[in-house]
Structures are given as structure tokens and as C-alpha cells.
Amino acid sequence: MITHCMIPVIKSPQDYQAYRISPNDQTKLAIIFNPANANTSLTVCLEVFDVGGKTPLHQHHFAVEMFFILKGEGKASCDGKSINIRAGDSILMPPTSNHIIENIGSTRLYTLCIMVPNEDFAELIHSGTLVDLDEEDIQVLTSSNFHEKFTERNYFHID
């Protein structure tokens, strides 16, 4: 039986802080939720890959990392296997897998990235250089064309 009610945490794009983990990175991460504001061990962020941008090949000891592709085209590689990804696709990287996401398109690649548990991901992002989300980034975050993307690819039918 639930004995108390917690007020949900609500944020909007103006609240997101974006970082480049290293100054020369071609990706930026805008933290949406992390252990500090979600009161749980997860990190949710918008990851923006410039043309040619990619994550380094890496792994997480315990965390599962999920990417939902919002816009653009990329390639996901996990333990030596690669697949092309595009808007509407999602990919789950299991713990201990060696993985990388890269932008192979001619425009930016936008992903929603969720890591559970946090495994110091939010802390790594916060250790980087603070950068701004630009007009294009905000447009992707506030776009209402997700319905069109899903119905176009026949993921589900809405009457």
C-alpha cells in the first residue's frame, strides 16, 4: 500500500544543461534526469552528434544503456556487430558490451540516451565543458513529428 505521494520532477528544454565531455568532442550531452534530480540511479540525456561525431568505444560494468533515435542516421556497433540506425529505432547495449554510436549521416544525429544504473555517467558528463543547446537542438526537442515518424514506419496504428 502506498502511504505517500511524491510530486513528479518536470523539466523543459530550457532547464537542460549540455556538456562536451572533452573540449574537442563532436558530441554534446544535455542532461535531463540524473541521480541528483531523479532520486534514483539513472541518467537520461539528449545526445547530439555532429556530422562525423561518435562516442568512444566503451563499456559499462553494470549499466544497461539504451538509445532511442530521435533524428538523423547513425551506426551502432556492439561487440563487433554493427547496424545502421535512424529516427524511430532504439537499441539496448547490455552491461560489459563494447559499444559505440556514430553519426554516419549528413546532418546531426539526435538520440535519447538512458543509462541504468547511473554508473557515474552523470558525473562524467558534468565534468565536461558547459555548452549551449542551439536553435536546432531545441527544435528537435520540441518537435511534434514523432507521431508521423512512428505511423510512417508502421510501429503502431492510431485510430
**Nearest Cα to 75, choosing from 26, 112, 109?**
109
- Quick check: 4 pLDDT over 60? yes
Q: What is the pLDDT of residue 146?
A: 45
Q: Give the pLDDT confidence of 100-136 residue by residue, as tens digits.
A: 999 999 999 999 999 999 999 999 999 999 999 999 9
- Which residues on neighbouring strands pair with residue 45, listed in sequence order? 31, 113
Give the three-state DSSP class for 20.
Answer: strand
Spatial separation of the C-alpha atoms in residues 141 and 5, rounded to whole Å: 29
Cα angle, residue 20 at apex, residues 19 and 26 outer, rounded to 5° = 135
- Quick check: 21 pLDDT over 90? yes
Given CATH 2.60.120.10, say whether it is the number of domain 24-152: yes
Q: Write down the pTM of the prediction.
A: 0.85
Domain ranges of the chain: 24-152
